[in-house]
Amino acid sequence: VKGKAVLLKPNFNSADAFPGSTHNTTLIGLIRQLKKMGARSITLGERCGPGSTARVMEEKGIAEICRAEEVQLINFEDLPESQWVRIRPSKSNWNDGFDVAKPVLEAECIVSTCCLKTHAYGGVFTMSLKLSVGLTHKRNMTELHFSYRSMRKMIAEINQAYSPSLIVMDALEAFVDGGPATGERKRADLIVAGTDRIAIDAVGLAILKDLGSNDAVMKREIFAQEQISRAVELGLGIDHPGRISLAADDALGREHAERLKRILQKG
């Protein structure tokens, strides 16, 4: 991020308490760390849903945070039509592609921060790959939500439109069932950071398996999950759990990393 204009993408699907949405303390901490890392500027951009983006941001006090931290704010939902670009990937389950906010496509550097949670409405889980849904136009959501059989693949396909420079997953707490707004909550006490969306989501699924989650997570191998398998097919990141390198900065973290490695190896 050094010397770059950073677009920061949080998880504001709703204003529900963390992990239903990005914790404001995590957001502030990440903004300050990006500044320490030398970011030239930071712009927070998001499109919420199904509720109003403006209302979600108001309930979370995001405008006040951005003013206090000298961060620009873009509500993608308020962008005019000229600021949306139709993306039509050559290999896609979308009927005629999807619309992505132009500031995302023009961003010099993208940093995304996701939560760790299951998704009760067809996605199975929502982490870094599904975070990309908030970069698309709200009109695309009807097709996505009514395409139950291909929904997970369509989520992965959105990720062809951009590539983040850094992903930070706040897994201090997780929804192990339910989600994305509310659900059964367990503590994981972890922050996971990396540059590969497939690796981040695979590690997130390993954490859910370690905590104990629902059947959709526990009874399916990590790389057999459709979001991940489709992302692998599209070449969006690593293609095998053996290619994930886990590093930690203390003995407890290394112990936890070893446990997650074993889960990843088993699938």
Q: What is the pLDDT of residue 133?
A: 97
Q: What is the pLDDT of residue 170?
A: 98
CA 138 to chain centre: 17
At 51-78, the pLDDT tens digits run: 899 999 999 999 999 999 999 999 999 9
Q: Given a cut of 90, is residue 173 above it in pLDDT? A: yes
90 Cβ partners below 8 Å, 6+ apart? none
Q: What is the pLDDT of residue 230?
A: 98
Mean pLDDT over residues 137-147, rounded? Answer: 95
Q: What is the pLDDT of residue 13?
A: 86
Name which of 11-15, 18-22, 205-209 the model is least confident about: 11-15
Mean pLDDT over residues 104-108, rounded? Answer: 98
Give the Cα separation of 167 and 8 in Å (integer): 10
Q: Is 201 helix (H, G, I), strand (E, B) or coil?
A: helix
Q: What is the pLDDT of residue 49?
A: 86
How would residue 50 be classed by pLDDT, with cut points 50, 70 and 90? Answer: confident
Q: Given a cut of 90, is residue 148 above it in pLDDT? A: no
Q: Given a cut of 90, is residue 236 above it in pLDDT? A: yes
Q: Given a cut of 90, is residue 91 above it in pLDDT? A: no
113 Cβ partners below 8 Å, 6+ apart? 8, 9, 10, 11, 22, 26, 27, 30, 167, 168, 169, 170
Q: How many CB atoms lie within 10 A of CB 106?
A: 11
Residue written as token pair 């959501």: 141
Mean pLDDT over residues 154-173, rounded? Answer: 98
Q: What is the pLDDT of residue 210?
A: 98
Q: What is the pLDDT of residue 25?
A: 98
Q: Is 141 helix (H, G, I), strand (E, B) or coil?
A: helix
**203 touches 246 (CB < 8 A):** yes
Taking the CA atoms of residue 155, residue 158, residue 164 and residue 170 in that order, the dihedral angle to the nearest 10 degrees is -20
Report the percent of the chain where pLDDT is more than 70.
100
Q: Given a cut of 90, is residue 181 above it in pLDDT? A: yes
Q: What is the pLDDT of residue 226?
A: 98
Q: What is the pLDDT of residue 107?
A: 98
Q: How many CB atoms lie within 10 A of CB 244?
A: 20
How would residue 98 be classed by pLDDT, with cut points 50, 70 and 90? Answer: very high
Q: Given a cut of 90, is residue 90 above it in pLDDT? A: no
**177 touches 12 (CB < 8 A):** no
At 125-137, the pLDDT tens digits run: 999 999 999 999 9
Report the percent of the chain where pLDDT is more than 90.
96
At 202-231, the pLDDT tens digits run: 999 999 999 999 999 999 999 999 999 999
Give the Cα separation of 179 and 153 in Å (integer): 19
Name which of 23-27, 31-35, 49-53 the model is least confident about: 49-53
